[in-house]
Structure 1
Amino acid sequence: MAKDKKDEKPDKEGVKVQKQLSSSEEDDSVERAEVKKEKKEKKEKKRSRESKELEELEINLDDAAPLSKKQKRMAKKEKSLEGKPKKESDKPASKSVNGVWIGNLTFDTTRDELRSFLIANTEHLDMKITPENITRINLPKKGPKIRGFAYVDFDKPELVPVCISLSEQSLNGRNLLIKDANSFEGRPEKSKQQQTGGDSGKNKNPPSRILFVGNLSFDTTKEDLEEHFQHCGNIVKIRMATFEDSGKCKGFAFIDFLDVEGATNALNDKLCKRMVGRPLRMEYGEDRSKRSPAFRKPVEEGEIDDSGNVIGSAIEKPKKKTFSDFDDPEEQNHQRSAPQKSFASKPRYNTNEPQGRVKSSVVLANAPRQSAAIVPSQGKKVKFD
């Protein structure tokens, strides 16, 4: 009986564990069901909101298009800059009629130094320059330093000759050069090619019907070039340099137009200066068809050159004397016995010998070498008593 009671106790404990497991599983299932309900409710709410927005959405065609992100950023910057005071460098640099150009400046010259120079050097003159008279000082820069010159504008035209009179005076150890900003005297005149060619005088060759085009991409074809330049004139031929293995463009080509006007139109046209986002390098090419063969003009008798000398005159050249021209019989015999040299029969060089420089290996192989054997002495032995 005692054993039976002991066996009943573990059975009761197992039943308790099973009840706990079943209760925990039920709780989990209830929680899962609640989570699913919440998700469904959220989805239904979203759908209802979207449907309401679609129903209430109205589009006005008269309104302007909405701003892009970039435009919104620019608008924010403009609003932020509106409240800030503008600096002297931010003011619009409008060129005045009453201005001078000042050159030979040091690269570290400032506006204050220029202003004080103009004011200090005109104090002793009748027409003085005051800070109120200077309306603008422009110092063009290249990076952190200035480019060595400046533009100064005044409010009165009478101050321009006063400022020019200060030329050749020293500032920071350098003599300044001051000129009228609107006068271009002393500059070299532009050539006709620079005025009409549109290539800034970079063409080395004279105008011709052939156009050189450089800085092309490797994927360029002849059809692309013909499309790009066909509006300039009649194209006769396109010669494009290509690689032997791939057949792609090497980066340059020659376009043969029917006349010079076609190549000139291409140089002047702004649309032709770029192709597939690349700036093209264009210039006149050399027209080899206009080359003349190098030959000498036949000279006629009595022809006179530019210097006034007679060319090809019928003046007999002195002939060599023969033995019949000598009166003395001894001299005739001497001329007969003397060997006559005939230069026409002898060639100028030996045809059997190889032309050009002989290789060093051949010279060393044929060079005479000294014998390594013992050579008996050929000297005489002298004995002294």
Structure 2
Amino acid sequence: MRVLAALSGGVDSAVAAARAVDAGHDVVGVHMALSRTRDQFRTGSRGCCSIEDAGDARRAADVLGIPYYVWDLSERFEETVVADFLAEYEAGRTPNPCVRCNEHIKFAALLDKAVALGFDAVCTGHYARIERAADGTPELHRARDAAKDQSYVLAVMGPQRLARSLFPLGDVASKDETRAEAAARGLSVSAKPDSYDICFVADGDTQGFLRARLGSREGEVVDTTGAVVGTHDGAYAYTVGQRKGLALGRPAPDGRPRYVLAVEPVRNRVVVGPVEELAVGSVEADRAVWFGAAPSTPTACTVQVRAHGAPVDGTAVAGPGGTLHVDLGADAGLRGVAPGQSLVLYDGTRVLGQATVTGTRKATTPSPERAGTAAGTPAGAGAGGRA
């Protein structure tokens, strides 16, 4: 096959391309330039769009002996991923930019261009597996290494794009194995640190990025009774479940921590309250993407709402117009689910589908001892990292 290997400049994509070469494919490497204002060097940069990354990708292609190109997708990236990120926060929702990048850039703009140029598939360094059903239909599955699994951020791609994708690292036992293979192949990126956080927020200051783009908008922070307990510079900088960085003027009457319960963009108001108010019993979502038939009747599955969150038991049923309703198990312990988050359904390791959260209903019998760590998630968390 003619394969276009997306080379981010990291170790994962380099080893994935190498494996595609070993498999006998005709491989061409391409680096996607996603920002025209990216940092020149990685010092102080936590993302994956630096000029240094483009140079690392070129050196990897040289070692592998494959052609190498740089494609400028910065305008498409700004118009889709960055614009969506800003619009979602401004509307009081919590987006995952890695999901949108996979949807609009890696498996839309990149794949569409690759197909137009005569390539059969796109190869990336994502940690996920593609298996075949009995009828030959491709299925998206979790990676062998659960700690690196990226099926959550890939679920938005859908079955047609999955059919033209290769994920050579899906069966790797650990990231250490990937690094060892890169070193054995003479790839200089073998010890390169992983990227994390949001690639277009180079310093990791998501609130600062939002404030610079959306401006300062002072408003009130209120409790569940409507009493003002603090102020903020922009409701868009907060997300449901957030605990840190609230800077409230007075403690709760009982002295317990407060969490963000709701973001009200029209009133520019943030509502805070006790952690028990974050317990989720059911979730509504829309823009569903299915790998196979949508569940027309309540179907048991596991549900994941964060890139590295633990899956919980649930029952899902598809509604009209791409909507989805999910009831969670009585002891699911899921908290702080925000509108805008990606919700992915699994049957074992197999991805059933994906949708975007529009709202939640409170659990009737919350389980405090199973709060997990999600309630402390700060604004901007949930990026999926380099592939």
What TM-score do the two structures reach when normalised by structure 2? 0.21
Q: Which structure: greater helix fraction?
A: 1
Looking at both structures, which has the greater relative contact order when contacts are Cα pairs under 8 Å and sequence separation is at least 6? 2
Q: Which structure: greater strand fraction?
A: 2
Larger of the two Rg values belongs to structure: 1
